[in-house]
Structure 1
Amino acid sequence: MSKQKVIVLAVRDQGLTVAAAARRYGVSRRWVHELLRREAEGGIDAARAHAGKHLLMLIHDTEVTISDTTTGEIIRELTIDPSRDYQARQRKTPRSEDRGVTDDPTHP
């Protein structure tokens, strides 16, 4: 079983929190959330089954259809929500005071 699957099962079935799973398996909380999202959208194994395949993505307005170019099998149909921002968020840098930086000129 892959480490990704173990992490998902630890959170989903064993009741581990995202933070606890991230610490236990040495990954970020963001990665744990990503794994849980992938699992909810059809499973990590489902995505792995299509790795290396040539896919065709047809987009019409807000409707998306993804199919295998070899077999014509429809792999996924999605609807894009125009009110949602799908862009990845930039990681915030720590504030100056969190890094021990101070504006006090008398401070060494």
Structure 2
Amino acid sequence: MNTNFLEELNNSQRKAVETTEGYIRLTAGAGSGKTRALVSLYLYLTDIDGISPDNILCITFTRKAADEMKKRIRDISATNLDGALISTYHGFCYKVIRQDAHRLHLKKNLRLLMIIS
């Protein structure tokens, strides 16, 4: 089990990563290490706590951030991300609506228009 990723965290980040019960909110400016903390939390949950990636929902605002998180997780860990849901808010909502369109009485060939402002 590789825990080297924990050594790269500052005290605040490490506290956020090791607090696995309850609600955690990370707010900080650009370049402050939010993505590093989230990636480390993901790795902590999967590699140390043994939680399956299928049971983790990781959502961010931009596709660039979601892709960067996936890349960093793959680079650090052997965790299989096939069942992982690391997405944007919009991508997650789109996936849920597409999968459950019938429950919402929507047609299978539904076309969604997502407006981001």
Q: Is the pair's TM-score, using the shorter chain for normalization, greater than 0.5?
A: no
Which structure dedicates a bigger proportion of its chain to strand? 1
Q: Which has the higher contact order (CA 8 A, sep 6+)?
A: 2
**Higher fraction of helix:** 2
Larger radius of gyration: 1
Q: Which TM-score applies when normalising by structure 2?
A: 0.28
